[in-house]
Amino acid sequence: MVFFFTISTSFAQTISTASLLKEMIDRDKIAHYPTNDFRLKQHSSYNRASKTPKDKTGWFANSDFTAPNTKEGPNNRFIRTELNEKGEKEWVLMEHLAPGALVRVWMPVKEIEDITVRFYLDGEKTPRIETNLYNFFNGDGEIPYPFAHKSLMSSVSFFPIPYAKSCKITVSKKPFFFQYTFREYTDKADIKTFELSDIKNNQSLIKEVGEQLLQPTNVTKGTKKTMRTTLAKKEEKSLDLPKGNAAIRTLKLKLGDYASDPEVTRKIILKIEFDGKQTVWTPIGDFFGTGIGLHPYQGWDHTVAEDGTLSCRWVMPYQQSANISIQNLSDNDVDVNLEAVIGGWKWNKQSMYFHAGWRGQYPVATRPRIDWNYVTLKGRGVYVGDALTIMNPVENWWGEGDEKIWVDGEDFPSLFGTGTEDYYAYSWGGKMTDFYEHPFHAQVRSHLFDKLHRKPKENYADRNTSGYSTELRNRALDVMPFGKSLQLDMEVWAGKICDMGYGVGVYWYGDANTTTNSMTDEKEVLNVPPLPSTLKK
């Protein structure tokens, strides 16, 4: 079904491979509601028994794959099979009959090495792309790293493939798990359909964008505002920013000693007000994606350095005024070093305010199965990322739950996933407890491991996922605009009956009157889930 949207009269440029590559690193553009309006959608191998939340059994069905050795039937996870022009059998994984752009692909390594993938664009009988599936999406084929790459046991691609009329993607063998995420534009969008030669013809641009993704820099030019202080127990201090049209370009924060209390990243709250309205209220660990404790990593929008410096590069515009506050909810004095770089901004009707919210809950029972709500938004805006921190008290795998994302009051989620770890771009989470990082996603901590404490190769098959895990996903081309509402739920689907701890930081842009169900919950912030006794020092 094609969804039609209200669009701006000042329509944007032609959408092409090159324009989308430029958009991928355009920090100002993400702070504007898109003039070329679109909705993000996904075709995946989710279990087709999931039809309505009223049917609790079907809604939480979890065979999110098509096993190669099973018979084909009405509950297959692909769209259909058909014969191509050469008489070869193909399995159709995605078929989108509207203008759009493929912006994210996730597939696990298992079962895909010897499969051919074909892209049929704009109704053509001959595929514009016909290549090895595994290599194409893991950075070893036509699409270079970091646009396509290997994460933990998965191949993931963020390289844009636009099309003016339609896109059909097939594979030469029965598929396993998969997610194909794409933009659906209005019929008025001016789109230049992808050609394989676009990769060769845009080599300099691809190199430039790739280098920026891997080596993002904090803005240093502009008005620098700092606050260096010590916060006593339960104390809060604020920093006023320059008046008038402006935007925070870089935000950096460094605290005192983490070693004595790793929970300080949960108990120190970042607050930001823009034009008299508080739009950010988040524990710093969830805002900067480090979870509980200091866990270094490098992302496109965040950096956690080994010396404890937390950096954020979201552009945060305002019209008249802004201030930043740091609140200490811990029982100890905390040294704070805050720095914000403020640059220019020209506010227009597409400009939006940056928001960051938090929700935490402990305990979360794993039975009966539920959808745990990250956030529900009402109004106009664009969802741009989240960081999930889990406390799992048992060794068994905790993350089989699928994301379910509802946009603008639809009857069924536009995006229905295949597992929590798949949403965060890796797979086989029952044993993939090692650290990994990428500009748009990361596992910054899992079980005992992070960037400074890697999982030993001799223990790589160990399936112990107890303790804290922090998963991060920041969005660029796969941002999610919404005109009326957005609801993001994640299934709580763990293998064992137990009580888990959930905490999530969510990031989005929105109009001044767009609302959220995220609350300022000091009581839950201090309700830090205890580590299993086997992991306590």
Q: Domain 223-525 falls in which CATH fold? A: Jelly Rolls (2.60.120)
Cα dihedral 305, 284, 505, 450, rounded to 10, equals: 40
On the question of pLDDT at 527 being above 80, the answer is yes
**Residues 6 or more apart whose Cβ sits within 8 Å of residue 108:** 153, 154, 155, 176, 177, 422, 427, 428
Residues 257-271 have a mean pLDDT of 90
Provide the pLDDT confidence category of residue 260 given band limits of 50, 70 and 90: confident
Could you give the C-alpha distances from 431 to 244, 435, 466, in angstroms and in order? 51, 12, 11
Residues 386-402 have a mean pLDDT of 97
Task: Give the model's pLDDT for residue 73.
Answer: 66
Could you give the C-alpha distances from 326 to 92, 288, 409, 506, in angstroms and in order? 51, 14, 36, 18
Task: Give the model's pLDDT for residue 113.
Answer: 72
CB 14, CB 192: distance < 8 Å: yes
Provide the pLDDT confidence category of residue 2 given band limits of 50, 70 and 90: very low
**Residues 6 or more apart whose Cβ sits within 8 Å of residue 478:** 40, 103, 104, 158, 181
Condensed to tens digits (0 to 9), the pLDDT of residues 86-115 reads: 999 999 999 999 999 999 999 998 766 789
Task: Give the model's pLDDT for residue 326.
Answer: 98
Q: What's at 112, amino acid-wise?
A: I
What's this model's pTM, rounded to 2 decimal places? 0.96
On the question of pLDDT at 320 being above 90, the answer is yes
Residues 392-396 have a mean pLDDT of 95
**Residues 6 or more apart whose Cβ sits within 8 Å of residue 73:** none
In this structure, CATH architecture of domain 17-214: Sandwich (2.60)
Percent of the residues in the chain that have a pLDDT greater than 70, as a whole number: 96
The mean pLDDT of the chain is 94
Task: Give the model's pLDDT for residue 3.
Answer: 35
Condensed to tens digits (0 to 9), the pLDDT of residues 7-46 reads: 333 445 899 999 999 999 999 999 999 999 999 999 999 9
Provide the pLDDT confidence category of residue 469 given band limits of 50, 70 and 90: very high
How far apart, in whole angstroms, are the C-alpha atoms of residue 450 and residue 457? 14
User: 471-502: b or e for each residue (b if 16 or more CB lie within 10 Å)?
Assistant: bbbbbbbbbbbbbebbbbbbbbbbeeebebbb
- What SS3 state is found at 340? strand
Provide the pLDDT confidence category of residue 74 given band limits of 50, 70 and 90: low
Cite the residue boundaries of each domain of the chain with CATH code 2.60.120.1390: 17-214, 223-525
How many residues in total does the chain contain? 537
Condensed to tens digits (0 to 9), the pLDDT of residues 76-88 reads: 899 999 999 999 9
Residues 386-410 have a mean pLDDT of 97
Condensed to tens digits (0 to 9), the pLDDT of residues 214-236 reads: 999 999 999 999 999 999 999 99
Condensed to tens digits (0 to 9), the pLDDT of residues 132-179 reads: 998 999 999 999 999 999 999 999 999 999 999 999 999 999 888 999
Condensed to tens digits (0 to 9), the pLDDT of residues 268-300 reads: 999 999 999 999 999 999 999 999 999 999 999
